[in-house]
Structure 1
Amino acid sequence: MRSRTELNIRKSFFVFLLAIIVSISVASTVGAHASSSGYSDIQVGSDTMQYHLSLVEHDLLQIFPDKADGGDKISDKQLSASLGALTKLVDDGIIVTGDGKVGTAVIVSAKHEKRASMDMIGIDIRYKFAAPVKQYLVQYNFFWYSGVDPAHSNYATIQVGGQTIQQVLGSQNYIVQIQGPGAGAGNPTMASALASKPIVDIAAANSWQNTLKTYVLMGMEHIWSGLDHMLFLFGLLLASEQKVAKIVKLITAFTVGHCITLVLSSLEIAYLSPKIVEPLIALSILYIAFGNIWKKKESARVTVTMLFGLIHGFGFAEVLRGTLSGQMALPLFSFNLGVEIGQLVVVAIVIPVLLLLRRVPLKINWNLYASGIIGVFGLYWLIERIVSQ
């Protein structure tokens, strides 16, 4: 009579064959964290605006007016020779008005720079107006306006009137309203005309409530939009066999792990390159899938889950690296809170579904089959991320 282990091995083999047929085509077209990001450092004067735009070099290549000399790099020679084309690109991507009059962008310089340990292109832009401005409007259109990346985010640090204000710009809030230094009430006619637009009033945005809301939502969106993080979490729920004690142990271990590296990496105290992090995240998915199939010991699972939590924390922190300046505690706390809320929502949805499937009168080990499919995704991403580098 065959042993239980032998049956599990045979069963897992067929599960993986089925999983490959069902999901390999899906895995080949689904990404994990492909959204682009950028930074805006804006200094507001009475009749001038100095705008430093930083975009990841790899992302800028998608919209760069001239083709790269080779590979995924833009040479210094290309940058210096493309200021005219970059000016047109900036005019389409950023619209700055002062009291209703459109400002003209002048590209002062464009050069390679390092930010948050990433290779970026920094573009210095200057806007000059004929008279002191009471109200500025900045409309940021890069990537999502053209449909290149609707999930693109830009982390803006705005200095005006002795204040430093941070704001996250996205496809749902891409217009920033800024009072000029020393200005009184804004132009009510302009505000009324643009009431239907997704405007961020910097005066209102400069509050702890807005910061809390912005970064909590960012954390929730990040966990939900990252299919690799979601599949790892789903694998943990399968490993728990829907038992409360096991769920608490595994989720706590994962949370403790990613909280540690999220904080250290966001504050730029510790850093691990995405070239290392991304394959390890894929490996974590593969590990949890194999662990579910071969029934690893619970103590080993908890320890390894926390170790992989440390790796996932570096992945979470890529969103915040380079964005935290000045008051860091609230954005960091809020983003982490958002990640935890996102996890709890996933748990609250998945557990009842798994419990319901257990009641289906079919002799199918749902945990085994689901783990097999998760394993295929993990294996595919592991190979893809190693080969691509």
Structure 2
Amino acid sequence: MRIGFLKKGVHLIFTLAAAAAVLLFTLPGAAGAHATPYAYSDIEVGTDTLQYHLSFAEHDLMKILPADKDGDGKLSDSELSASLKEIAYLVDDNLIVTGNGKLAAGVVNGAKHEKRASMEMIGIDIFYQFPSPVKMYLVQYNFLWYSGADPNHINYATIDVGGQTIQQMLGSQNYIVQIQGPSASAAENQNDRAERPSSFSSSGQTASPLQTASSVPLQTLLDYTVMGMEHIWAGIDHMLFMLGLLLASNRKSWEIVKLISAFTVGHCITLVLSSLEVAYLSPKIVEPLIALSIVYVAVENIWRKKESRRWIVTLLFGLVHGFGFAEVLRGTLSGNMALPLFSFNLGVEIGQLAVVAVCLPLLWALSRIPVKMNWVNYGSGIIGCFGLIWFIERIGLFR
């Protein structure tokens, strides 16, 4: 009876693994690198001027701007130059800037190809001029609502006011920012704030609460922490690597602590170095290596020797995964970078501990099933299949 049940169980497991493999091959990009729509805003605030450099990933810009006339999936310099009027209309509709409550018309001075965060991007230079010194600027970023825009779109804003650099993340929950002019005194700003309404809306959109650029550390902490948590939960490859480590730990507390700590130390090192652009490894190398790390852990789970110092290998692979974590932050940190970097890393750690908290009880429950089955080997075999499939796809063998 037990033998029959065992055979059915093994058959079910490998059927699920095969189904997962088919799913990965039939869903385009399912095993690719973590792709999230990012844009960047570099805002330099003057007494009566505001210079705005907006950077869009080329493929994201093409979704909302029909400028690819030859249909080759890229924007040539000539296509970009010919689209300046359309870009100006796009900016005018989706970027609202006011000074002391008065709307300003932005002048698009140019658009060009640039590389940022290792991505091909289009940089747009916009200039705003006001007739008199501005005590309070307000910027509303409406590209989130443009037809064809990705709902997960995030814009990383770096704001320079009188030599002070402020980081702000613009998303669907926070797309309006207030910036105090460099000439405004604290008392004047306080009076303005008391007189100003608590929200601002345009084009029929309901505005979220305003964020003052000079007082956003708590919002920055929250935004980047949540982003770190979402990043690890969205990266199933990172989670499967951790599951492979937990399988090999045999639920021994000290072994779990050593492995998770080694992985944490490893990815923290490269997360910091890479996001600060001190060290860099291309995603074309990192993503296949992450897949290989999953395969290695799965194979070692099945054939490893007892005296194997797995924490050393885990530390090394943690360094590789750190480059993957940091890719989302590349190009976003400048000036006041400590809080965003700390917050993102905190989010990654919270997300990682949540995965451990969910997986350990499940592994314990499986071990209690009265069936003679080596769950470590079977589980590792499935994890290894995923890693191998991802590796093959990420090196482009079947493209």
Q: Secondary structure at the match of 1:325?
A: coil
Give the distance between the partners of 1:111 and 1:46, measured in 2 at CA.
27
Q: Deviations over 1:37-76 (max 9, x none)?
A: 1211101233322100112223333333212646543211
Kept after mapping to 1: 8 A contact 2:113/2:120: yes
Judging changes above 3 Å, is the alpha-carbon distance between structure 1 residues 12 and 73 closer, same or farther for their aligned structure 2 residues?
farther
Give the distance between the partners of 1:80 and 1:298, measured in 2 at CA.
64
Coordinate RMSD, CA, aligned: 2.9
Give the distance between the partners of 2:302 and 2:105, measured in 1 at CA.
62
Q: Secondary structure at the match of 1:191?
A: coil
Kept after mapping to 2: 8 A contact 1:65/1:89: no
Q: Which residue of 1 is the match for residue 238 of structure 2?
A: 229
- Structure 1 segment 224-373 matched on structure 2, within 5 A: 224-295=233-304, 299=308, 301-373=310-382
Give the distance between the partners of 1:140 and 1:329, measured in 2 at CA.
25
Give the distance between the partners of 1:53 and 1:379, measured in 2 at CA.
39
- Structure 1 segment 1-389 matched on structure 2, within 5 A: 16=14, 18-22=16-20, 24-25=22-23, 28-29=26-27, 30=30, 33-67=34-68, 69=70, 71-143=72-144, 146=147, 148-183=149-184, 184=188, 185-186=191-192, 188=194, 190-194=196-200, 197-205=208-216, 207=217, 209-295=218-304, 299=308, 301-387=310-396
Q: TM-score, normalised by structure 2?
A: 0.83
Q: Secondary structure at the match of 1:181?
A: coil
Task: Detail structure 1 runs of 4+ shifted over 6 Å in the superposition.
Answer: 11-14
Kept after mapping to 1: 8 A contact 2:95/2:142: yes
Output the amino acid matched with 1:331: P
Give the distance between the partners of 2:391 and 2:304, measured in 1 at CA.
22
Give the distance between the partners of 1:92 and 1:290, measured in 2 at CA.
55
Give the distance between the partners of 2:172 and 2:273, measured in 1 at CA.
29
Per-residue deviation at 1:312? 0.7
What stretches of structure 2 of length at least 5 have no aligned partner? 1-8, 201-205
Give the distance between the partners of 1:376 and 1:71, measured in 2 at CA.
35
Per-residue deviation at 1:118? 3.0
Judging changes above 3 Å, is the alpha-carbon distance between structure 1 residues 276 and 99 closer, same or farther for their aligned structure 2 residues?
same
Q: TM-score, normalised by structure 1?
A: 0.85
Per-residue deviation at 1:82? 0.8
Judging changes above 3 Å, is the alpha-carbon distance between structure 1 residues 180 and 332 closer, same or farther for their aligned structure 2 residues?
same
Judging changes above 3 Å, is the alpha-carbon distance between structure 1 residues 221 and 147 closer, same or farther for their aligned structure 2 residues?
farther
Output the amino acid matched with 2:396: V
Per-residue deviation at 1:106? 1.8
Output the amino acid matched with 1:197: S
What stretches of structure 1 of length at least 5 have no aligned partner? 1-10
Output the amino acid matched with 1:141: N
Kept after mapping to 2: 8 A contact 1:41/1:52: yes
